[in-house]
Structure 1
């Protein structure tokens, strides 16, 4: 007995065979759950307190005598140190204060001030020539003395005026603050915060 397949029947037969062969397979886009998108990594916020503590630890390793002297000093900023000083009420004095605000220095914490003062005293003792050599007479001698004491040249500046007077400005390695010295008799060395416009060198010019 011969069976004849009409065009419509052939289409149905092909569709049935396709369904049988596809049984048990997973077709992309057939409703299967897609892989979840990877969760973006959270942006890491720098831990400035930890970085500062690590810097102080490196400083203390370089200068153990200073670390011992300043151990236990508070590292928090003095209350109200971030607030600008009250300007004078007199118009001329007020204008002068505003024009020279660029010379303001950042406040030092008790711990930072202690370190700065200790470094200033340490350097001044060497400049006073307690070793019998006397104070440096040239930029080269002054640079050699400072580097020999552990202060890096890239963070220090040594200067000579037209009359030969020597001075220097440096940032205490790792922890700050700034130390400025003048060898013009009498020798003076002092510690101070960075200037509001940045750096340890006193800015020149007003606003």
Structure 2
């Protein structure tokens, strides 16, 4: 009996070892870990999504222009009162190829001097510009220029005293009758250019097509 059961026990032991080897180091069917060497099961959890890029809002130029006019009106209430109800802002001026003359020589002249073109003032801009021009002209002594500044320093002080900042304008020339200025009206524009000659000239206009209030130098 003993000799007959020993081989049977050896067979059963070998079968058990084979079963354990097939399952790896864990119990088969337990679900604790995958068998040794097996690929991991795919995850069912969704992959994390990247955050959507934040888009900056487009600048509201109309609101910015309206805010600038409001600041201008606070600085110059008398001008604001005169121009109340006028709407609009400065727009691009003429000078496009379609506006050029058909005569070759005249067309060439217009092309060579296009850098002098200025933006067109809307009724609101023209009203403010004309009001500022009249205000400055009165402070300079009117058309005859009586009591007008006699030096660039005096003219600069007068304009500053009227509320026109130094950084928004320029005074040039020397001596009585040879003084000029150009300035940008604070906040809302437009430009005002003056010459203290006889007769005196003070007028409003749009910015040059190349930017700024002073007439650009150059051309070709």
What range is the shorter-chain TM-score in? 0.7 to 0.9
Q: Is the CA contact 2:210–2:216 (under 8 Å) kept in the aligned structure 1?
A: yes
Give the drift of 1:74: 2.5
Structure 1 stretches lacking a partner, 5+ long: none
1:70 aligns with 83
Instruction: Give the distance between the partners of 2:184 and 2:169, measured in 1 at CA.
Output: 6
Cα deviations by residue, 1:47-93 (Å, 9 ceiling, x for unpaired): 00000000000000000110010000121668x95673622222211
Say which of 184, 189, 201 aligns to 2:202: 189
1:176 aligns with 189
Q: Is the CA contact 1:179–1:192 (under 8 Å) kept in the aligned structure 2?
A: yes
Matched, 1:46 2:52: no
2:17 aligns with 6
* 3-state SS, counterpart of residue 120 of structure 1: helix
Say which of 163, 169, 186 aligns to 1:150: 163
* 3-state SS, counterpart of residue 181 of structure 1: strand
Q: Is the CA contact 1:159–1:167 (under 8 Å) kept in the aligned structure 2?
A: yes
Say which of 178, 199, 206 aligns to 2:212: 199
Q: Is the CA contact 2:89–2:125 (under 8 Å) kept in the aligned structure 1?
A: no
Rate the CA distance shift 1:174–1:40 in 2: closer, same or farther, 3 A.
same
1:19 aligns with 31
Structure 2 stretches lacking a partner, 5+ long: 1-8, 35-39
Q: Is the CA contact 2:69–2:188 (under 8 Å) kept in the aligned structure 1?
A: yes
Instruction: Give the distance between the partners of 1:121 and 1:11, measured in 2 at CA.
Output: 104
Instruction: Give the distance between the partners of 2:108 and 2:212, measured in 1 at CA.
Output: 24
Q: Is the CA contact 1:120–1:190 (under 8 Å) kept in the aligned structure 2?
A: yes
- Larger-Rg structure: 2
Give the drift of 1:184: 1.4
Q: Is the CA contact 2:152–2:174 (under 8 Å) kept in the aligned structure 1?
A: no
* 3-state SS, counterpart of residue 197 of structure 1: coil
CA RMSD of superposed structures (Å) = 3.0
Alignment: residue pair count: 200
